[in-house]
Chains A and B, each alone.
Chain A
Amino acid sequence: MYKYNQIDQNIVNERVAQYQDQLNRFLKKELTDEEFRPLRLQNGLYIQRHAPMLRVAIPYGLLSSVQLRTLADIADDFDRGYGHFSTRQNIQYNWPKLEDTPKILKKLADVEMHAIQTSGNCIRNITTDPFAGVSPDEVIDTRYIAEILRQWSTFHPEFALLPRKFKISISGSKSDRALIKTHDIGLELIEKNQDLYANIYVGGGLGRTPMIGVLMKELLPIKHLLSYCESIIRIYNLYGRRDNMYKARIKILVKSLGINDFKRQVEADWDNGNASPNMLDDNEIKRVKVFFTSPDYEILESQELENLYSDNKSFVNWLKRNTRPHKQLGYRSVTISLKGKYQSAPGDILSNQMRAVADLADQFSYGEIRSTHEQNLVLADVKETKIYELYESLITNNLAEANIGLVTDIICCPGGDFCSLANAKSIPIAKNIENLFDDYDYIYDLGSISLNISGCMNACGHHHVGNIGILGVDKDGSEWYQITLGGQQGNEASLGKVIGPSFSEEQVPGVVKKILDTYLSLRNDDSELFIDCFTRIGIDPFKQIIYQEEA
């Protein structure tokens, strides 16, 4: 993975000093609340219900074991012994003290980490495919482009105070695992005659007005990537709405101008990129790319693990759900579930579990860990011959929940328990739904299905793109839940449809159960996934069963 040089290290060190100074001025009342707000936000610091919340950047979800141990230490020394992985592949702490935050940042800087631009109206953490570099369907390894974009977007002087937050995601595989069509800018990398190009999608996003991004530029030569993104964001910076935060994302600008006019303005500014000082050259690409070359894989034979362990049903289930094929023969990628009965909330992890994962990464996967937007962790390069040993260690650490992609692999935002923007709680909803299923056979029978929960319109839990989406809404001061069906991420990204009037907290688990039972009774056979069945039969059968019985 990328290693800091002196410039990188100076930048994060100087950031700690700058932030310490800003905090001091705030505490001495030399900065007002209003002035300190954008400054602390750009540093990942929110003021939440109980305490400040600090969000630490994990650039494109890549972590070393050393870094993960530091995150564990921070959880112990400055928080309550756990951390929460967010849907932006970052980690957040819910209980730090304001005065401690500079110390935390110092600790992070010591292991080449920071909290820069993890919130606020600026370019946020660049995200990508958690299986970049190891997936068999990969065309381009996106990690070095992600690192180049991380550097370019860090303290970009023109884009420090945008109308609203700005998210960029990159995909380089046949199937998109980076949600590029629901980002402000989504980049699809492709190779043609050995040259690298990007297709650029713009104006996607979830939140209050969910939209699927539109393809704005095809086959942009990679050397122009930075200048083209700059022109997009410049036009947005100048013309995006600043009077109403709910209409301030780039998608609203793109929609009101129309994609053609927006593109015309961007390209007039861009002027073919030839005058840009940020034109990428082969040297720079090479310089960053070398950090992401494949490790020295051993030449191995592939293992018939399912047959070898056919008498161990739990292992086989875990193997099927939590591991996936690797581009290198004899290796697999393993996903460690942070969902289920052992985690207090989806995405939460205890400090001792972090240390355990760090040790396992050292032992089995070249000392690297990835975080996913589904709020799980990945060990990307595990030898098949070692998979069983790894599995047993995971069991000891309560990290072997075999539910990746299943209904209990819930994506869930912190919601009303922590977040001051929430309309309703989301973690207890996730927990109550989880508690519906003590029967693993039922869950496996349901097969792949996504269930996403957000505590408000901001959609941090990506509820629109869940096959089942649950959204907290406020009705006369009490907490209600709106349910959508049929959302999905990936190449066929689509937004869920609202099933009807919302439900109370008590009703939600029952309604979810009915939705699942309806699917089971109406699917053609067990090869028809929930989303395919929904696409075939539509929302009405679900509606009928739920509301007829509710009435």
Chain B
Amino acid sequence: MSNQLILNKKIVNNDWVFLLPVIEQKEVKKQAGKVVMFKVTGENFPEDDDLNKIKLPDVSKILLPLKLYLLRKDEIEKKYSEVGLWLYSHEDFQWLSNLNLDLNKFSVIGIYIEKFADGRIYSLGNLIRRKLKFKNDLRALGDILKDQLFFLDRSGFSSFLIKEGRSAEEAIKGLSDFSHSYQATLDEIPSWRKNLNG
């Protein structure tokens, strides 16, 4: 697992352990006409059973799948000094917001994408900041490259775990690909109100 973290526009030492469950591949049956959350690759994600079987590692700061936390909350809170949570990009924002979880209790919330092309991460970031008012560190996990950073940053992400094998020194430059943007996101103001227009 990669350990190259960019936080608040700096490359930092990452002391968080990111727990990504590895699970067996099962045949996925899709029902015609039914709206379900579609995953990019059709790979499985862990069921409760799988999550219950996971052995929790002995570390101090850990990033856990949200579902795992919900299942084994007491055990987890006892074991770790600091817990961060992360979501798969196909997990439903509506579901998350209906949990009425106080997200600001957690110092890190992450979103994980399996594939670079999975753009759901941007909308999820925006919603978690805007609708759930999450104030702490929002982290992009998974297939994260230089080329997403500018957009992720503008979608509310404050840290980026760069994909294994890619240089974080190179990636961090992606944050300054553009010096201006047209539209506003989150707390910014759109270019047309910046009074820079001739």
Contacts and interface: CB of A to CB of B under 8 A. Distances in A.
Nearest to B179: A10
B181 A6 contact: no
Q: Name A's interface SS.
A: helix
Nearest to A288: B192
Nearest to A257: B35
Contacts of A5: 196-198
Interface of A: 5-7, 10-11, 14-15, 18, 22, 30-31, 34-35, 38-39, 121, 151-163, 226, 234, 237-243, 253, 256-257, 275, 277-278, 281, 283-284, 287
B155 A121 contact: no
B14 interface: no
Range of interface residues on B (Cβ < 8 Å): 35 or more
B116 to A, nearest CB: 6
A156 B118 CA distance: 15
Interface string B22-61: 0000000010011101111010000000000000000000
B120 interface: yes
B122 A237 contact: yes
A278 B151 contact: no
B197 A277 contact: no
B75 interface: no
Contacts of B118: 161, 242
A256 B30 CA distance: 14
A38 B116 contact: yes
Contacts of A241: 38
Nearest to A253: B35
A278 B178 contact: no
Contact of B155 (A38, A158, A287): A158
A4 B180 CA distance: 14
A278 B196 CA distance: 17
Contacts of B184: 277-278
B120 A256 contact: no
A241 B39 CA distance: 8
A157 B116 contact: no
A231 B40 CA distance: 22
B198 A161 contact: no
Contact of A154 (B150, B152, B182): B182
A7 B191 contact: yes
20 contacts: A7-B196, A30-B170, A34-B116, A152-B183, A153-B183, A158-B185, A159-B122, A160-B119, A160-B151, A161-B118, A161-B119, A162-B119, A234-B126, A238-B124, A242-B40, A242-B120, A243-B30, A256-B35, A257-B35, A277-B186
B42 A239 contact: no
A14 B177 contact: yes
* Residue of B39, B40, B170, B178 with highest tally of chain A CB at under 10 A: B178
Residue among A121, A152, A253 with max Cβ neighbours from chain B (10 Å): A152
B12 interface: no
Given A157-B155, A277-B190, A284-B192, A121 B119 contact: yes
B187 interface: yes
B150 A157 contact: yes
A22 B191 contact: no
Contact of A158 (B30, B126, B177): B126
Given A11-B178, A14-B177, A284-B192, A226 B183 contact: yes
A284 B191 CA distance: 10
B40 A243 contact: yes
A161 B117 contact: yes
Contacts of B148: 160
A121 B117 contact: yes
B71 interface: no
Nearest to B182: A151
B122 A161 contact: yes
Given A158-B126, A226-B183, A277 B42 contact: no
Nearest to A248: B38
B69 interface: no
A160 B122 CA distance: 8
4 nearest interchain CB pairs? Answer: A161-B119, A277-B184, A157-B154, A157-B151
B124 to A, nearest CB: 7
A237 B123 contact: yes
B188 interface: yes
B147 interface: yes
B106 interface: no
